[in-house]
Structure 1
Amino acid sequence: MAISVKAFTDEPVRKRARIEIIPLIDVIFFLLATFVLFTLSLNQSGGLAVLLPAAETGRPRDADGAVTLTVTADGAIAWDKALISLDEFIPRLQAWKQVEPDPRVLINGDESALFSQVRYVVDEVRKAGITKINIETRIRSAAR
C-alpha cells in the first residue's frame, strides 16, 4: 500500500468566492424602507387630516406656491395645518394675496362639513381677488 505525501509549498491557497447573504439582506431592507418612506411622502396634504369627499373627475394637485385651507367637520378653518379663527382668516388671506404674485388656494374640506361653510371660504377667497381655487378630493373607486 502506497501512501502519498504532499509536500508543503509556498503557493498561495486559493479560496472559492462566496456570496454573503446577510449584507445582501441588509441592503434589500434598506432599499425597501427607503421606498416605503418615499412613497408615503408623495401625497402629503398641506392641510389638516380630514375625510375628503370622493370624485371621479379629480386630477393630481400641484401644491407648490399654494396655501391649503381646511374646513373641518365641525366648521373650523385651518390655514395649512394651523387652526385659525374667522377674525384671522380674512386679514391673513388679504396679506397673502399681497405677498404672493400668483396666489393659488387648495380647499381641503371634510366630506361631512356643511356646504355653507365651504361656500363662505370660497366667497372670501374670491373677494380677496384670488381666482385659482381648487377643491381637493379623493379618487372614487370604479366599483361601488
Structure 2
Amino acid sequence: MKLPRRPPPKARIEIIPMIDTVFFLLVFFMMSSLSMAVYRGMPIDLPKAGTGQQGVRDHAAVTLTKDGQLYLDKQPISLDQLRGRLKELLEVNPELTVVLSADEAVSHGRVVEAMDIARWAGSNRLAIAVKPNQMRREE
C-alpha cells in the first residue's frame, strides 16, 4: 500500500522579528546621535530668554564666567589674544558664527567688550547663548 505524501511546507519569512530588529536599530542610532552633539563652551549659568533658539552648527564659543575668566572653545584666553585667535578662525571659515556665552552675573560692559572684539576680528555672525524660558510673551 502506497501512502500519499504531503507536500513539504513552503518557507516563510517572519516579518515581526525583522520589524523588532529594525526598530531597535532606529532607537539605538537616534540615541547615539544625540550623545554626539558637541558643545564647545564652558558650563555657566546662562540667562533665560523666551525667544531662544537651538544652537548653530559651525561656531566658535566665547565664554565669560562670573569670576571674570574668558575662554575660547574651552581654552582660557586673554582679551588681547581673543581678537587674533578669532581672526585666524575666520580666515579658515568666513561663515563661522561666534557664540557668546556669558554668565548672568557678568557685567554688561564686559559682554559688550567681547562682542566688540569679535566684530573687530571680522565676525559677521554673532549670537548670544541663552537658556530657553518657558514663559512666552503674550501676543
Q: Which whole-Å CA distance do the structure 1 matches of 2:31 and 2:105 have between them? A: 31
Please say if 1:61 is aligned against 2:55: yes
Instruction: Give the secondary structure class of the aligned counterpart of 1:52.
Output: coil
Corresponding letter in the other structure for 2:132? I
1:45 deviation in Å?
A: 2.5
- Summarize the Cα distance change of 1:97–1:41 in structure 2 as closer, same or farther, 3 Å threshold: closer
- Per the normalisation by structure 2, the TM-score is 0.69
Aligned length: 136
Q: Which whole-Å CA distance do the structure 2 matches of 1:56 and 1:141 have between them? A: 7
- Summarize the Cα distance change of 1:36–1:121 in structure 2 as closer, same or farther, 3 Å threshold: same
- Please name the residue that 1:20 is paired with: none
CA contact (8 A) 2:84 2:121 kept: no
1:62 deviation in Å?
A: 1.4
Please say if 1:128 is aligned against 2:139: no
Corresponding letter in the other structure for 1:117? R
Instruction: Give the secondary structure class of the aligned counterpart of 1:142.
Output: coil
Which 5+ residue runs of structure 2 have no aligned equivalent?
A: 1-26
What percent of counterpart residues are identical?
27
Q: Which whole-Å CA distance do the structure 1 matches of 2:30 and 2:92 have between them? A: 37
Where do 1:93-104 residues align within 5 Å? Answer: 93-104=86-97
Aligned counterpart for 2:110 among listed residues 113, 117, 127: 117
Let me know the Cα RMSD of the aligned residues.
3.3
Which 5+ residue runs of structure 1 have no aligned equivalent?
A: 1-31
Q: Spell out, residue by residue over 1:77-120, the C-alpha distance to the aligned partner (whole angstroms, 9 max, x if none).
A: 10011111223112112222222231210111111111111100
